[in-house]
Structure 1
Amino acid sequence: MIIRRSRAALLAASILAGPVALSPMLATPADAQWVVFDPNNYAQNVMTAARELQQINNQIQQIKNQTQSLINQAKNLANMPYSLVSTITSQIQRTEQLINQAQRIAYSVSSIDQAFTSNYGAVNLNKSQQQMVAQAQQRWQTSVAGLQDAMRMQATVVGNIPTSRANVTTLGASSQSASGALQAAQVNNQLLVQISQQLADLIALEAADGRAQALIAADKATNQNQGATQLSTFLTPGAGYQPTSVQMFHGN
């Protein structure tokens, strides 16, 4: 009885002490070994596994963030799949061609000065009537050519409107669906180029119309000056008739 009570006391003491160790007195034969469960050790293992799992989850999240960052950078650096700059440039070139094809008087200060010196301004009464008529006809033809140039410019500008409208519609849709900052910036830049083209058309149209009106006004002013000068010369009293000797027959 004393041996049994001692064994029971030792077993209870080992359980309360924490990690359980088998006393030599409790040793059992090899075919009857006990499996001892340590709750403290189990809890520590669970906490360690949980921390390691959290670290793995954090690493996975970091990899996801880095991957998304690379995807965003790729989108920001993606170019637009098309460009309308060449189309807009072609419109500007057509307008420039019409400016360079201006008839009779070019859009040049030297050409304007030369034309006004020869055909406009002060009237030279030393010229013959035929020369004055020829100059008046040249001025009229120049005015008509200016009106034709203005109408050609109007037709070109109006012809550019459908293309400009299509370009703006395409760029507006591209702006809404831009995948990154670079594409958005490229869309805005092309819109600015389109606006610049339309402003260039308006300036060219205004210049052509102003040129035509200026030629008409210059022709009218010169004709009025020439008519007033000729009338004044005609009405100015002269020396009158001066008799001279006339030989009626040869030898007499």
Structure 2
Amino acid sequence: MTSSGFPRRALFGAALALVLASPAAAQLAVFDPTNYASNVLQAARALEQINNQIRALQNQALSLANQARNLAQLPYSSLQAIETNLNRIRDLMAQAQLVAYDVKAIEQEFGRNYTLDASASDLALLSSAQKRWANSAAAFRDALNVQAGVVTGMPAAQAETRALVTASQGATGIVQATQAGNQLLALQSQQLADLTAMMAAQGRATALEQAERAASRDQAREQFRRFMDRKQGYQAQPVEMFH
């Protein structure tokens, strides 16, 4: 019994030695749970840092996209149409006949034809009266032309207003919204300029008409005085009515 047990123990020891000498047994022998947990924690932290960097890059990309939208230019512009209309009204105002929109020219005209010269001849007084009537007629014609120009430009101004409102509502950024607002203000300024031109033309016509009436009254008084001061007044002349 003793002799048979010895070989068994020897065989078991040899088998155990072979198992421990194998690579798997060697790996099991060097495994360190604490070191493994530390490595896993470091890997998790590294992964979290990478995720944070990815989120930061995504935020930067979104910010750049928002900045690009905010800096985008408005695709519609009404400045050319506004400038065209302003030039048209300005040209109509520049076509004012006889008495221009100029302080020096107005003073000269009033000095010639709206200020009574007691030493002027009757023919000269008549010529001044005709000149004043012509000035008034031309001023009212100019006022009508300006009014017609303003009315003609109203459909275009309305179309520009609708287009700008649509563009402002569809603005994708701050710059586009600001540009749309600025163009709407420019359009309103152009409409105010049209109204100012129309009022100026009408006021010019009214002022010339009133000046004509005042000058005509002065002239009428002067001519009546001359008529009454003549040495030889009206003398009746015999008239033969029936043969």
- Secondary structure at 1:79 match in 2: coil
- Secondary structure at 2:20 match in 1: coil
Residue 109 of structure 2 aligns with which residue?
A: 115
Residue 143 of structure 2 aligns with which residue?
A: 150
What is the TM-score of this pair, normalised by structure 1?
0.77
Moved more, 86-95 or 154-163: 154-163
Residue 159 of structure 1 aligns with which residue?
A: 152
From 147, 150, 169, the equivalent of 1:176 is 169
Contact 1:171–1:187 (Cα < 8 Å) also in 2? yes
* AA of the residue aligned to 2:38: Q
Residue 28 of structure 1 aligns with which residue?
A: 20
Aligned counterparts of 1:32 and 1:125: Cα–Cα separation in 2 = 138
* AA of the residue aligned to 1:188: G
State the Cα distance separating 1:104 from its structure 2 match.
0.6
Residue 141 of structure 1 aligns with which residue?
A: 134
- Secondary structure at 1:126 match in 2: coil
State the Cα distance separating 1:25 from its structure 2 match.
8.5
Aligned counterparts of 1:32 and 1:153: Cα–Cα separation in 2 = 105
Residue 234 of structure 1 aligns with which residue?
A: 227
> What pairs with 1:75-114 in structure 2 (closer than 5 Å)?
75-114=69-108
Contact 2:76–2:164 (Cα < 8 Å) also in 1? no
Aligned CA distance change for structure 1 residues 52 and 226 (closer, same or farther; 3 Å): same
Moved more, 48-57 or 84-93: 48-57
Aligned CA distance change for structure 1 residues 53 and 229 (closer, same or farther; 3 Å): same
Aligned counterparts of 2:84 and 2:204: Cα–Cα separation in 1 = 24
Contact 1:123–1:225 (Cα < 8 Å) also in 2? no
State the Cα distance separating 1:125 from its structure 2 match.
4.7
What is the TM-score of this pair, normalised by structure 2?
0.79
Residue 247 of structure 1 aligns with which residue?
A: none
Contact 1:123–1:229 (Cα < 8 Å) also in 2? no
Check if 1:49 corresponds to 2:43.
yes
Residue 126 of structure 1 aligns with which residue?
A: 120
- Secondary structure at 1:28 match in 2: helix
Aligned counterparts of 1:93 and 1:147: Cα–Cα separation in 2 = 21
Residue 215 of structure 2 aligns with which residue?
A: 222
* AA of the residue aligned to 2:105: S
From 198, 202, 218, the equivalent of 1:205 is 198
List alignment gaps of at least 5 residues for structure 2: 1-15, 234-243
Aligned counterparts of 1:239 and 1:190: Cα–Cα separation in 2 = 74
Aligned counterparts of 1:31 and 1:134: Cα–Cα separation in 2 = 132
Contact 2:116–2:218 (Cα < 8 Å) also in 1? yes
From 63, 66, 70, the equivalent of 2:60 is 66
Q: Number of aligned pairs?
A: 217
Aligned counterparts of 2:162 and 2:205: Cα–Cα separation in 1 = 34
- Secondary structure at 1:56 match in 2: helix
State the Cα distance separating 1:45 from its structure 2 match.
3.5
Aligned CA distance change for structure 1 residues 93 and 223 (closer, same or farther; 3 Å): same
Aligned counterparts of 1:95 and 1:137: Cα–Cα separation in 2 = 29
Instruction: Give the alignment's Cα RMSD to 1 decimal.
Output: 2.7
